[in-house]
Chain A
Amino acid sequence: MPLERQEFEYIRNFLQKRSAIVLDEEKQYLVESRLLPLARREGYSGIGELVTKMQTTAVNGLHQKVVEAMTTHETSFYRDARPFDALRRAVFPELIAARSATRKLRIWCAACSSGQEPYSVAMLIRENFPQLQSWDVTILATDLSMQILEKAREAVFSQLDVNRGLPAPYILKYFDRQGMNWKLKDDIRKLVEFRPMNLIEPWPTMAPFDVVMLRNVLIYFDVDTKKNILKNVHRLLHPSSYFFLGGAESTRNLDDKFARVELEQSSVYRLC
Chain B
Amino acid sequence: MQALIVDDSRAMRRILRKMIEPLGLQIAEAENGIEGLQRLSEHPKTELVFVDWNMPVMNGIDFVKALRANPLNIQTRVLMVTSENTLAAIMLALKAGVDEFVMKPFTSDILLEKLRMIGVSLPPVE
- Listed in ascending order, the chain A residues whose CB lies under 8 Å from chain B are 80-81, 159-160, 162-165, 167-169, 171-172, 175-177, 247-248, 265
Q: Given contacts A81-B125, A163-B103, is CB(A176)–CB(B87) below 8 Å?
A: yes
**Of the residues B87, B109, B117, B126, contact of A172 by C-beta under 8 Å:** B87
Contacts A159-B85, A171-B87 hold; do A164 and B101 have CB atoms under 8 A apart? no
Contact indicator A168/B116 (Cβ below 8 Å): no
A-chain residues with CB within 8 Å of residue B87 when the two chains form the complex: 171-172, 175-177
Q: Tell me, yes or no, whether B28 is within 8 Å of chain A by CB.
A: no
B86 CB-CB contact with A under 8 Å: yes
**A80–B107 Cα gap in the complex (Å)?**
16
Interface CB pairs A-B, < 8 A, 14: A80-B125, A159-B85, A160-B106, A160-B107, A163-B110, A164-B107, A164-B110, A167-B100, A168-B101, A171-B87, A171-B90, A172-B90, A175-B87, A247-B126
Q: Counting CB contacts under 8 A, is B23 at the interface?
A: no
**Nearest 5 CB-CB pairings of A with B:** A168-B101, A164-B110, A247-B126, A163-B110, A163-B103
Q: How many residues of B contact A (CB 8 A)?
A: 23
Q: Is B105 an interface residue when CB atoms closer than 8 A count as contact?
A: yes
Contacts of B103 in A (CB 8 A): 159, 162-163
| Contact bitstring B89-114, A, C-beta under 8 A = 1, else 0 | 01101100010111101110110010
Complex CA gap A163/B117 in Å reads 12
Write the B27-54 contact mask toward A (1 if CB under 8 angstroms, else 0): 0000000000000000000000000000
Residues of B within 8 A of A80 (CB): 125-126
Q: Could you tell me if A168 and B126 are in contact, using CB atoms closer than 8 angstroms?
A: no
Question: Which B residues lie within 8 Å of A247 (CB)?
Answer: 126
Chain A residue contacts of B94, Cβ below 8 A: 168-169, 172
Complex contacts, A81 vs chain B, CB 8 Å:
113, 116, 125
* Contacting residues, chain A, for B101 (C-beta < 8 A): 168, 171
Q: How far is the CA of A80 from the CA of B124 in the complex (A)?
A: 9
Query: In the complex, what distance in Å separates the CA atom of A107 from the CA atom of B79?
Result: 34
- CB-CB under 8 A from A176, the residues of chain B are 87
What is the distance, in angstroms, from A160's C-beta to the closest C-beta of chain B? 7
Q: How far is the CA of A163 from the CA of B105 in the complex (A)?
A: 9
Cα distance A80–B125 in the bound complex, in angstroms: 6
Contact A163 B90 (CB under 8 A): no
- Report chain A residues within 8 Å CB of B109: 164
- State how many angstroms separate the Cβ of A65 from the closest Cβ of chain B: 29
- Would B105 and A164 count as touching, CB distance under 8 A? no
Give the CA-CA distance A171 to B117 in the complex, in Å. 14
Least CB distance from B53 to A in Å reads 13
Shortest C-beta distance, A129 to chain B (Å), equals 20
Instruction: Please give me the residue from chain B that is nearest to A165 by CB atom.
Output: B113
Within B38-84, the residues touching A (CB, 8 Å) are: none
Q: Is the CB of B113 within 8 A of A177?
A: no
Q: CA separation between A236 and B105, bound complex, in Å?
A: 42
A165 vs B117: C-alpha distance when bound (angstroms): 8
- Apart from the given pairs A165-B113, A167-B100, 7 other A-B contacts in the complex at a CB distance below 8 Å: A159-B103, A163-B110, A164-B109, A168-B100, A172-B87, A177-B86, A248-B126
* CA–CA, A169 and B100, complex, Å: 8
- Asked whether, in the complex, the Cβ of A172 is within 8 Å of the Cβ of B106, the reply is no
Separation of A164 and B98 alpha carbons in the complex (Å): 17
Q: How far is the CA of A177 from the CA of B116 in the complex (A)?
A: 25
Q: Which of A163, A172, A177 has the most CB of B within 10 A?
A: A163
